[in-house]
Structure 1
Amino acid sequence: MLSVDALSKNFINVSITNTVDEALDILNQFKIKHLPIVKSKAFLTIISEETLKAAHPGTIMKDFVNKGVKKFVRQDDHLLDAAKAMVDEELTIIPVLEDDESFMGIITMEDLFTKIISRFGLNSDGSLLVIEVPQQDFQLSELIRILEMENVHLFSVLVSMENFPNIEITLKTDIKDINSVLQTLERYSYTVKAYFENDQYIHQLKDRYESLISYLNV
């Protein structure tokens, strides 16, 4: 799951000769709040919508090359590295560069969301289960064994340390009736924090996606 695999399709590059008005049109077209400024194949910086709106409409992008954020990922970086870079810098896009520093394109927040949902199997039929266990008691092999006893197949396992020393584990499974699994996990002292059966989960994904698009349209 490499960054190059999530490049935005048909993105229009912004060069140092484009004006603020032209750049704002591109922001609106792709529903993003940040743009990379590129000279030929060289990535220069990321400029924000806020900065552009504060400038004169006829100002050219060359005037912004010493401003903004010079953040990027390389084509062979993991997609989650791209996600981390976007979150750390509060960006709606991240540029992707080749090994020789040549600009390849960008990943948008929408691209990232869609690719992660697909690659972790979160859009497949089944249920989403969120459990919690103390860090010292967590063994992935044991958890998998328990689920195998219930004839459950896993599409993905996501582990969060946010509530350390407890570990939160999000499981995407192929099971449609989750009641028996809940009872088994509780017998093994796992705390079930939440679960979403297929129709409910798809509805929540749709709501979150629409919230994201609404945010990008602000």
Structure 2
Amino acid sequence: MLNKELISSNIPTLHYQDTVGEALLLMQESHLSQLPVVDDDKYLGVVFEEDLQKNSQEQTLQGSNIRLSKVMVPAHTYYLQAVQVALDYRIAIVPVVENEELVGVINQVDLLTELGRQTGVQDPGGVIVLEMDSINFSFSEISRLVETNDAQITQLNTFRQSQPPSLLVVLKVNTIEISTIVATFQRYDYKVKYYFGEERYVNQLKSNLDHLMNYLNL
């Protein structure tokens, strides 16, 4: 999915000759705290509501000292670049530019929706998060351990964390019942940081233990 394919049709654009008051009103109507600014279709940057509020509402954007952040992504690059820009700059919109002209704007909500669709967040299945040193990461080994439990990995993502320095490996598997998979990882000395799914095996053990305790109390 390219950036140009995620452009929203309902995000307005400010012009360099607009007043601060007009800009603030447009932000209020669109429920956004940032909007792109253009001058004769040339992209100038993003203006922030907090910067506008420090200026007279009668001033034009051009005549004020308002800072414009030239954050943007090219139209023909992969959408994950827009995701990274939104995270890096903590903005709700990502301008899409081609040949210095504003092609459109991507809404953060649309970015998250596409990210969820492509990473299979809405697909049924369990999630297991492993924590390890980067040098110990082996996709083939992790996949083999999952497959020994008659399951398959449908998504795998890795994230580096600084405290403590380690690699998080997020697995999405094609089964909700993950207790045997978790047990397999633990048996092979993998650190299972989190897991989300049904634990029928664990629940059955607890049920059996409860029955035993009830019997002993008779």
Q: Check whether TM > 0.5.
A: yes
8 Å Cα contact 1:37/1:65 also seen in 2: no
Q: Read off the aligned partner of 2:140 and give its amino acid letter.
A: S
User: Highest CA radius of gyration, 1 or 2?
Assistant: 2
Q: Deviations over 1:96-116 (max 9, x none)?
A: 112x22211112222222221
Partner of 1:97: 97
8 Å Cα contact 1:155/1:174 also seen in 2: yes
8 Å Cα contact 2:2/2:76 also seen in 1: yes
Partner of 1:206: none
Q: Deviations over 1:54-112 (max 9, x none)?
A: 222232233358722111110122222222222323322221112x2221111222222
8 Å Cα contact 2:12/2:35 also seen in 1: no
Partner of 1:152: 151
Sequence identity percentage? 26
Q: 2:30, 2:157 → 1: CA distance?
A: 30
8 Å Cα contact 1:32/1:108 also seen in 2: no
The alignment covers a number of residue pairs equal to 197
Partner of 1:50: 50
Partner of 2:129: 130
Q: Does 1:10 align with 2:6?
A: no
1:15 CA displacement: 1.5
Where structure 2 has 5 or more consecutive residues not aligned to the other structure, the ranges are: 199-218
Q: Structure 2 vs 1, CA of residues 37 and 142 (structure 1 numbering), >3 Å: closer, same or farther? A: same
Q: 2:196, 2:63 → 1: CA distance?
A: 50
Partner of 1:181: 181
- What secondary structure sits across from 1:62 in the alignment? coil
Where structure 1 has 5 or more consecutive residues not aligned to the other structure, the ranges are: 199-218
CA RMSD of aligned residues (A): 2.2
Q: 2:65, 2:44 → 1: CA distance?
A: 6
Q: Give the helix-richer structure, 1 or 2.
A: 1
1:130 CA displacement: 1.0
Q: 2:191, 2:26 → 1: CA distance?
A: 47
Higher relative contact order (CA 8 A, sep 6+): 1
Partner of 2:82: 82
Partner of 1:196: 196
Q: Structure 2 vs 1, CA of residues 162 and 25 (structure 1 numbering), >3 Å: closer, same or farther? A: same
- What secondary structure sits across from 2:110 in the alignment? helix
- What secondary structure sits across from 1:131 in the alignment? strand
Q: 2:35, 2:59 → 1: CA distance?
A: 15
- What secondary structure sits across from 2:70 in the alignment? coil
Q: Read off the aligned partner of 1:123 and give its amino acid letter.
A: Q
Q: Does 1:140 align with 2:165?
A: no
Q: Structure 2 vs 1, CA of residues 39 and 154 (structure 1 numbering), >3 Å: closer, same or farther? A: farther
Partner of 1:214: none
Q: 1:175, 1:17 → 2: CA distance?
A: 57
